[in-house]
Amino acid sequence: MSLQPVRGTRDLLSDELRIYHRIIRTAETVATTYNYQPIETPIFEYTSVFQRTLGETSDIVGKEMYTFSDRSGESITLRPEGTAAVVRAIISEGLTQTLPQKRIYSGPMFRYERPQKGRYRQFYQLGIECIGMANPFYDVECIALADHILKTLGISDYKLHINTLGDTDSRMKFRQALVSYFSKHINNLSEDSKIRLEKNPLRILDSKDDGDKKICSQAPKFENYLNDESKEFFKKVTQGLDALTVPYILDPHLVRGLDYYCHTAFEFKTDSLGAQDTILAGGRYDGLMEQMGGPSVPGVGWAMGIDRLALLLSSDLKDHKLRIAVIPIGEELETEALKLTQNLREHNFTTELFINGNLGKRFKQADKAECQIAIVFGNDEFTQNQVKVRNLQTDDNLPNKEMIVDSNQLFPYLSSLTL
């Protein structure tokens, strides 16, 4: 039995995990001002929830899902993405009676992919879904929210790409044009794309294969097949973004990997991550709920890759929290030290008690635990209601190497320290 985590999964520790939490906290705080409510769906669903909605020809359903039979023979799938699960939940919970539903979620997703930097088999997404609003202003709101969250996180190296996939009518016409174009190049298409040509030719535009990409660059443009309603819809989206001064790049070859998108499709991309450059992606999915067996209710939303954002933010890994070591001198003061440690924690100071080994060893342990200061006291200090506060940092952020502080002045003194 291997003691390594399963390929494509990993353990998240301390600093890295703190970044994940910060990303989620920041996104939730910003989304609250857009009136989003939290939702959490199960990690696994009946396979049909994803199979029917994502489409048999999508990469996810075709080759990426973790699907298994449980002990009663039900086909179960670990969620590969959030939207289908959230829409399922909105239907299951009877929430289609109270629209709009603006929901934010986060958590692990599972896809059987080739692991590499920024691409894992268990990865983390945070997403929002705005369900029940057909107006293009909600596409604008969703995109503005994404932009707002990235800015608040301090990320600036990204560009918003947008495109329209039009309504069903426009998409059917475009599909025909693509089929006749790609059919002419069928011998040079990748094996995957040959299958896509039969089942879902639009998907070829989303191919990662270099040969396919070359052929795609000359493919018919969707804008020439859009009907007036679709053009009008997209115009309102871009005008809304202009009004909010959210910059964007019109990207006619942007399609989404999933079957259920229509009208607006968008991706936030960065130059700093190499091949895995999309940090957030989404779009409108008006047909999804009906396709799942619910009422015909429109929706728009996005999901961001927390792992990729964390890679962008990893340069400010360290937390700058004050950590305090409590070090008593003499066994008879250990209980007093325990009480002081507890008292400090109740006053919100991050504190660790060191009572093992000789004094030198304790200071070493405190240093390893990244404590910046130590509170030290022996019998002399204790009988005079005093403690020694020692600066453990090598760089001199704290005023004194060591000073005597009256016990009743300790908390105000510690609060006054800035690191």
Binding region for ligand ATP (CB under 6 A)? 81, 111, 113, 118-120, 123, 125, 257, 276, 278-281, 303-305, 307-308
Smallest distance, ligand ATP to C-beta of residue 163, A: 14
**Residue in the structure block whose two tokens are 């994404």:** 146
Smallest distance, ligand ATP to C-beta of residue 127, A: 8
Smallest distance, ligand ATP to C-beta of residue 30, A: 18
128 - beta bridge partners?
104, 302
Nearer to ligand ATP, 270 or 372 (CB): 270
Indicate if the alpha-carbon torsion angle 43, 47, 53, 59 is positive or negative: positive
Smallest distance, ligand ATP to C-beta of residue 122, A: 8
Nearer to ligand ATP, 284 or 323 (CB): 284
Nearer to ligand ATP, 44 or 123 (CB): 123
Cβ–Cβ under 8 Å, residues 363 and 398: no
Which residues have a Cβ under 8 Å from the Cβ of 191 and sit 6 or more positions away? none
Smallest distance, ligand ATP to C-beta of residue 269, A: 9
- In the chain, what is the straight-line distance between the N-terminal and C-terminal CA atoms, in Å? 46
Nearer to ligand ATP, 267 or 286 (CB): 267
Nearer to ligand ATP, 206 or 381 (CB): 206
Cβ–Cβ under 8 Å, residues 255 and 265: yes
Residue by residue, DSSP assigns 18-75 as HHHHHHHHHHHHHHHTTT-EE----SEEEHHHHHHHH-TTSHIIIII--EEE-TT--E
Nearer to ligand ATP, 84 or 289 (CB): 84
User: What distance in Å separates the CA atoms of residue 136 and residue 144, rounded to the nearest whole number?
Assistant: 12
Tokens representing residue 257 in the block: 């990997």
Peptide linkage before 100 cis (omega within 30 of 0): yes
Smallest distance, ligand ATP to C-beta of residue 259, A: 12
- Output the residue with the shortest Cβ distance to ligand ATP: 305
Cβ–Cβ under 8 Å, residues 118 and 145: no
Nearer to ligand ATP, 166 or 283 (CB): 283
Nearer to ligand ATP, 302 or 363 (CB): 302
The backbone torsions φ and ψ at residue 396, rounded to the nearest 5 degrees and listed phi first, read -90, 70
User: What distance in Å separates the CA atoms of residue 13 and residue 11, rounded to the nearest whole number?
Assistant: 6
Nearer to ligand ATP, 18 or 119 (CB): 119
Strands in 75-78's sheet, in edge-to-edge order, are: 44-46, 75-78, 67-69
Smallest distance, ligand ATP to C-beta of residue 90, A: 19
Tokens representing residue 157 in the block: 């190296």
Smallest distance, ligand ATP to C-beta of residue 213, A: 13
User: What distance in Å separates the CA atoms of residue 238 and residue 163, rounded to the nearest whole number?
Assistant: 10
Smallest distance, ligand ATP to C-beta of residue 396, A: 42
